Structure formats: C-alpha cells, structure tokens
Amino acid sequence: MTRRIEVDLKAQLLTLAEDERTISRFPISTALNGAGEERGSGCTPRGLHVIRIKIGDGLPLHTVFKGRRPTGEIYNETLAAKYPERDWILTRILWLSGKQRGVNRGGLKDTLRRYIYIHGCPDSEPVGEPRSHGCIRMRNRDLIELFDQVEPGTEVEIF
C-alpha cells in the first residue's frame, strides 16, 4: 500500500490517500501569489514532490520554528502581538523536495532550496483561501494527524 498527498490549489484542499482510497481531507492555505516555481516568487510550486524531512516529532502543539529549529516559544496571542511581522511556522514541518528536474528541482526552480513546507499556522489565520508566502499552511491539529501518517519519501502532488 502506497500513501500519497494531493494538494489541490484551486479547492485549497489537501488529501491523504492510500492507493485509490481517501484517508483524510484537510482545508489548507497556499500562496497568496498563486502557483509558480521561481525562487523569490512567493508562489506555491506545482508538480510532483516528496517529503524530504519531517521536523518536530513529539514537540508541543503550537511550537514556534525559525530556520526549521524550535525557538523554545509556544505561539499565543501575546507572542503574536509582540512580533506582528513574523510568518509563523508552527507545530510540525514537512519539508518538500521537487522530483521534476527543470520544473521544481534544480536551478531557480528548486522547491527544497526555496524552503517550501507543509506546516502549521496560527489558529486565527484563515484556511481554505490562499494566504501564504508559498508554503502549504494547515491547522495545527490537522497537521499532527497528517504528520503521524506519512514518512520521508511520501509523494506529494501539487496541482
């Protein structure tokens, strides 16, 4: 049995499937700038990817990450008010790597080097509509559910 993730940019939905069976569906938020692969575009890259690295296993809900490392902070409204400019990366990170050379791997179109993740966001942020800087944002509890069901190497198709 092979698990895979499908990210539907138009519907703003992430589906976890096993073979031809849907296991779970989650609302997400992808890039405000739409779809695109260029470095610096602020867009969500399309095509076939894999989960390269899972980060944050066992850490508390709402753990704050900066540079893929936990800061020791737990997100709350006081912290948000203190740092209103932060793009909050919370709870877990699934770091993606492109599989298609020239499309989302290599050169200026490299998903891994663009630091594109599936990650948690503040619960006050809307999902179901494009709002991110290129990553795929999820509700924190949904992300933990997904994180616990996938492994590095799981395919992720973004369309």
Q: Does domain 3-158 have CATH number 3.10.580.10?
A: no
For the segment 48-59, what is each residue's pLDDT rounded down to a tens digit? 999 999 999 999
pLDDT digits (tens, 9 = 90+) for 89-144: 999 999 999 999 999 999 999 999 999 999 999 999 999 999 999 999 999 999 99
Q: Calculate mean pLDDT across residues 14-40.
A: 97
Say if pTM beats, i.e. exceeds, 0.85: yes
The confidence score (pLDDT) of residue 64 equals 98
pLDDT at 38 over 90: yes
Tens of pLDDT, residue by residue over 10-20, are 999 999 999 99
Tokens 């992300």 correspond to what residue?
143
Mean pLDDT of 27-36: 98
Residue 141 is predicted with a pLDDT of 98
d(CA 78, CA 55): 25
- pLDDT at position 1 is 83
* Distance of alpha carbon 87 from alpha carbon 79, whole angstroms: 12
* Confidence (pLDDT) at 84: 94
Section 25-43 average pLDDT = 98
What residues does each domain of the chain span? 3-158
SS3 readout for 4-37: EEEEECCCCEEEEEECCEEEEEEEEECECCCECC
Q: What is the DSSP string of 118-151?
A: EEE--TTS--SS--BSSSEEE-HHHHHHHHTT--
